[in-house]
Structure 1
């Protein structure tokens, strides 16, 4: 089932069953909370019964129901009723406190577990999932949907339990006092229940649509805030505001349709309640006037009729909350059920020490969405050597990197590190052995120190500084007022592109992995930063396997081997001199970049 398109045929009760299965570890907590809700409601309806008994005492005195219990004088009877009233109100207050504590704590714990589990599951999902899904939709599921379920558990769950208890308990009292009036008073209840389910069926798909629109709106906001610099540079503020307004209006309209259905419930139920109340009021009154019904019992029935039927008016609100929560629950649990294709099934570690030899043996992989990828690629990268991958955009260079990191698994062939297939070792040990510096540098909000030490949080300050020196980042860090403690801002927005790239390199260096991958690490930096990175690479390449993906051929002329990737296949291999002498794809691209040929003459373009 798609996260973005949950089945509207899935019933809310099926979603509730799925939620209860998920929350089976909280079974005792749920039972305790529901028990307190039940006891509280029983105490809550008791005062209406005591009012009827008090009327009976005043009217019948020595012949009252309480007199038959051994309290002969009316004064004694009133006193015992007062004592009972005190304990009933105290009991109601105590159990109201308990059920609120229990339900709210359950809501907090369950929402925390759901958010944590969905996040941890999402972290294990394949890169293909994130390339196909909107980050806004995922954030809406992990945050807004989880909060929607929390709101239901805070109050709606207790309300549902207490409505059920009210119907059963009050119904029992009615049938004991007068089966005829019980039948009349309960006549509207089937209509009310039918109406509740009818509106539930109508509202369910509408609230699923509401949750979808929330995700779309979150995605729009997230994308626009992330791209605010581009929006400003193209003076597109008005256009983006209009696009946001369209998404916001779609959400408003989806809510309007749901509200239109849910709001119609209360007027219908009010008339059904009126019918039940009038039946009790008139028929019971006539029976009391004829002497067929005790006056106190009549008072009990009148008060309990309101206690029975009136709370059902809130059923619409509770069902509204329930539907919203179940729509959110479906999205949350559907995300938890998205299958993980790249399985981490091995507890086996890469053999230590990791030398860093990498091989691709007849590896084929194609993306389902585009069909692009690599076909029957075989490459050997001996430990401690540098391999450069060059080729046109979309030729398959970065795909090989993703296969090495096991972001994807090859459909054919095998990727090995030190002769061990990467699928036969744990993901943690594989990725610990690889340091990645990508073109799109991602810095986490925090300090420079936090970002450099991201791969080794336990690293000492001296180690952090040394990594920064090797990456030629220390020169700009030490002149900052806060030095290593300087905040980088969201995604490193407070730093220049070159500074972010040098921090990314320092982060990979501090990790001290035997394999270092540079995926277009110098394509978006200035000449000074490129030169700095090149100097750093000369220092760190010794004794380490380096795989470089590059468009600027000047950055890889010293690589031990260069592989030219064209349309998913390796078409040329060799050193810089060898490939120039071959006068093929690489040589043609080199002539363009050095100004001795035109771009249209280059086969790689």
Structure 2
């Protein structure tokens, strides 16, 4: 991304108490606590994706699922206050030290002014004491500047840790609507990359006015005092001169806006050139066959000329703005000195002239910095906003006011007249008046075609969503009667592709139960029949077997991963176990073992599963519930449904048999050659 002109995009501030470099001057080092290399306005390395920031109606990060929105300073201020509260002591300490440095800097310069006046005999102070005081203040400012940098780094790190921790924990509480909109890689980018720049910018929203404001006020007071030493300057003229100190930086800010718009035009022209170039590179052979080379060449030449013209205009405006901004202090100092020179008399101390020279930059600098910083906020808004969206996001499902931690006594599940469509539209209707009671200590398989509502039933049972009509009950109580923690502790879900952490086998069990013992883990692994196979992989320590996030890339086979995930679910001693396609990716031998394990588990656990493999369902299920177009159309034992025929499950079984049988094929019979007769002859 091409850098906008100074003022349109803020440069990261240097250490506290040192003025920002003027536009066009060499860049200072990164601000305290920021990564090496600094940042633009202030943006951490890696925070800006390739291609810069785009978006209709304002900048926006490509690929981010948040629509463009104008910058809202009230939100920024609220997020900044929240962040400061996460580390109040480091924040206040860093702001206090920086403010003290910025206050002492003009004070030390004023001591130098008083020393000059004393040396020429026009002051009452002792020159020796003034010189000593100046030296002491110089040492104090150096030491305080070092302390300020250290405390600011501490403050930034504490806030960044708190912010990333908050984002991580808040993200885990948000529901499927949010996670359907924001992908895992996007969340990593927001929490890992955007958070650093957002933290720094939000902190500075509070700190910048305080730290720079103290220096500005102090220098302004001393500047006014030095002007008052010129008795020949009328009070009105003195106020006009002081007003110029504020007005001229604001003119520079307006010029920066002009430059920013010029560079926006450059980006627009470059985007138009990229589109035009895409017209040529899409099918260059077609261009040849159409004999359109000359036309494409003219179009590209016109676009290149437009880009060049826009760059020249923007560069000219940038250079004019840079020269104006870089010369502000010189212009103001010159104006004040000329006016003061004409008002100079024999009683006016030379130190007052020196005071004007020293104080003008200390007044102009903070004004420039503050204007530039708050102008740059709009540039950084697209980076900060995704962070704020997670901070402000509310869980889609929350505990009811009267929810309690209830121990389930009856491991049944029931749907009563349930109507459901996925929010926010809530249409189309996925489940339409569904009612069914799932038996306790039995295996129930929900069978249906794609999009029939199978998975929706499972999501409602664990309260990832609430239905729009009807009621879902567990253990004879509405789901809302349970706290989410107690519900999901007793109703455990094993998804089609279970989450596995990169690390040891033990670490994956500690994910669901941090205090689990090695003995308990080995017991459930033995119960599901996978312990012997794992022992052969690593005889010296089964629980130290490395596990990868992605199936098929580590030590465990697909069947072993499935059985390990089942064992992990059992470590919680669930009353109801929800299985999503449990036979997926499992080999024949592991499938046989899985059937035996589930049959044994069903003596004490209610198992509800969604499964497409009708052979597996027939072997393991006590009951099959068929769902079609959001309605349960038939239910019964698998063999009974097959025998009765005419139902959805029977049709699935028949389709399966036809797919694996050759009876319906017209096979041509070809006689084999008489091998024995050929051998005799």
**Match 1:308 to one of 363, 372, 384:** 363
Report deviation, 1:339. Answer: 3.0
Q: Note the alpha carbon deviations across 1:242-279, whole angstroms, 9 max, x for none.
A: xxxxxxxxxxxxxx9xx999998644422433321211
**Match 1:538 to one of 599, 610, 625:** 599
Find out whether 1:487 has 2:541 as its counterpart.
Answer: no
Give 1:499's aligned residue.
Answer: 560
* Higher alpha-carbon deviation: 586-595 or 28-37: 28-37
Residues in 2 aligned to 1:394 and 1:426: alpha-carbon distance in whole angstroms: 30
SS of the residue aligned with 2:499? coil
Give 2:520's aligned residue.
Answer: 463
State TM-score, norm by structure 1: 0.79
SS of the residue aligned with 1:547? strand
SS of the residue aligned with 2:435? strand
Would the alpha carbon gap of residues 363 and 37 (structure 1) be closer, same or farther in structure 2, given more than 3 Å must change?
same
Residues in 1 aligned to 2:657 and 2:624: alpha-carbon distance in whole angstroms: 18
Give 1:589's aligned residue.
Answer: 652
Report deviation, 1:472. Answer: 2.6
What RMSD over aligned residues (CA atoms) do the two structures have, in Å? 3.4
Residues in 2 aligned to 1:33 and 1:130: alpha-carbon distance in whole angstroms: 37
Would the alpha carbon gap of residues 435 and 154 (structure 1) be closer, same or farther in structure 2, given more than 3 Å must change?
closer
Residues in 2 aligned to 1:578 and 1:169: alpha-carbon distance in whole angstroms: 91
Residues in 2 aligned to 1:456 and 1:397: alpha-carbon distance in whole angstroms: 29
Would the alpha carbon gap of residues 119 and 134 (structure 1) be closer, same or farther in structure 2, given more than 3 Å must change?
same
Q: Is the 8 A contact 2:249 2:364 kept in 1?
A: no
Task: Map 1:210-221 onto structure 2 (within 5 A).
Answer: none
Q: Is the 8 A contact 1:363 1:412 kept in 2?
A: yes
Task: Map 1:321-470 onto structure 2 (within 5 A).
Answer: 322-323=377-378, 326-346=381-401, 348-349=403-404, 351-368=406-423, 371=428, 373-470=430-527
Report deviation, 1:543. Answer: 1.7
Q: Is the 8 A contact 2:400 2:483 kept in 1?
A: yes
Report deviation, 1:597. Answer: 8.9
Residues in 1 aligned to 2:571 and 2:257: alpha-carbon distance in whole angstroms: 57
Report deviation, 1:408. Answer: 0.6
State TM-score, norm by structure 2: 0.71
Would the alpha carbon gap of residues 166 and 452 (structure 1) be closer, same or farther in structure 2, given more than 3 Å must change?
closer
Give 2:105's aligned residue.
Answer: 44
SS of the residue aligned with 2:625? strand
Would the alpha carbon gap of residues 447 and 264 (structure 1) be closer, same or farther in structure 2, given more than 3 Å must change?
farther
Find out whether 1:272 has 2:272 as its counterpart.
Answer: no
Give 2:343's aligned residue.
Answer: 287
Give 1:175's aligned residue.
Answer: 224
Would the alpha carbon gap of residues 262 and 459 (structure 1) be closer, same or farther in structure 2, given more than 3 Å must change?
farther
Residues in 2 aligned to 1:576 and 1:81: alpha-carbon distance in whole angstroms: 100
Q: Is the 8 A contact 2:102 2:215 kept in 1?
A: yes
- Structure 1, gaps ≥5 residues long: 67-76, 211-255
Task: Map 1:13-412 onto structure 2 (within 5 A).
Answer: 14-20=75-81, 23-24=84-85, 30-60=91-121, 63-66=122-125, 77-152=126-201, 160-178=209-227, 180=237, 183-184=240-241, 186-193=243-250, 195-196=252-253, 266-288=322-344, 290-291=345-346, 293-310=348-365, 314=369, 318-319=373-374, 322-323=377-378, 326-346=381-401, 348-349=403-404, 351-368=406-423, 371=428, 373-412=430-469
Would the alpha carbon gap of residues 508 and 265 (structure 1) be closer, same or farther in structure 2, given more than 3 Å must change?
farther
Give 2:53's aligned residue.
Answer: none
- Structure 2, gaps ≥5 residues long: 1-59, 229-236, 268-310, 665-681
Residues in 2 aligned to 1:266 and 1:20: alpha-carbon distance in whole angstroms: 34
* Higher alpha-carbon deviation: 480-489 or 186-195: 186-195
Answer 1 or 2: which has greater helix percent. 1
Q: Is the 8 A contact 2:579 2:607 kept in 1?
A: yes
Report deviation, 1:174. Answer: 2.1
Find out whether 1:8 has 2:69 as its counterpart.
Answer: yes
Q: Note the alpha carbon deviations across 1:371-422, whole angstroms, 9 max, x for none.
A: 2521111111122111110111211111101001101111111111110111
Residues in 2 aligned to 1:263 and 1:119: alpha-carbon distance in whole angstroms: 44
SS of the residue aligned with 1:176? helix
Give 2:578's aligned residue.
Answer: 517
Residues in 2 aligned to 1:87 and 1:311: alpha-carbon distance in whole angstroms: 25
Give 1:569's aligned residue.
Answer: 631
SS of the residue aligned with 1:302? helix
Q: Note the alpha carbon deviations across 1:273-293, whole angstroms, 9 max, x for none.
A: 3321211233333434x4363
Report deviation, 1:24. Answer: 4.7
Find out whether 1:547 has 2:615 as its counterpart.
Answer: no
Q: Note the alpha carbon deviations across 1:322-359, whole angstroms, 9 max, x for none.
A: 55555444332222222322112356445435331111
Q: Is the 8 A contact 1:434 1:517 kept in 2?
A: yes
Would the alpha carbon gap of residues 374 and 156 (structure 1) be closer, same or farther in structure 2, given more than 3 Å must change?
closer
Q: Note the alpha carbon deviations across 1:165-189, whole angstroms, 9 max, x for none.
A: 2332222122222254664364142
Residues in 2 aligned to 1:428 and 1:83: alpha-carbon distance in whole angstroms: 68
Would the alpha carbon gap of residues 194 and 432 (structure 1) be closer, same or farther in structure 2, given more than 3 Å must change?
farther
Q: Is the 8 A contact 2:460 2:466 kept in 1?
A: yes
Report deviation, 1:424. Answer: 1.4
Give 1:478's aligned residue.
Answer: 535
**Match 1:526 to one of 587, 608, 624:** 587
Q: Note the alpha carbon deviations across 1:465-505, whole angstroms, 9 max, x for none.
A: 12112223223311223522022123453133222212111
Residues in 2 aligned to 1:490 and 1:325: alpha-carbon distance in whole angstroms: 34
Would the alpha carbon gap of residues 154 and 98 (structure 1) be closer, same or farther in structure 2, given more than 3 Å must change?
farther
Would the alpha carbon gap of residues 428 and 162 (structure 1) be closer, same or farther in structure 2, given more than 3 Å must change?
closer
What is the aligned residue count? 536
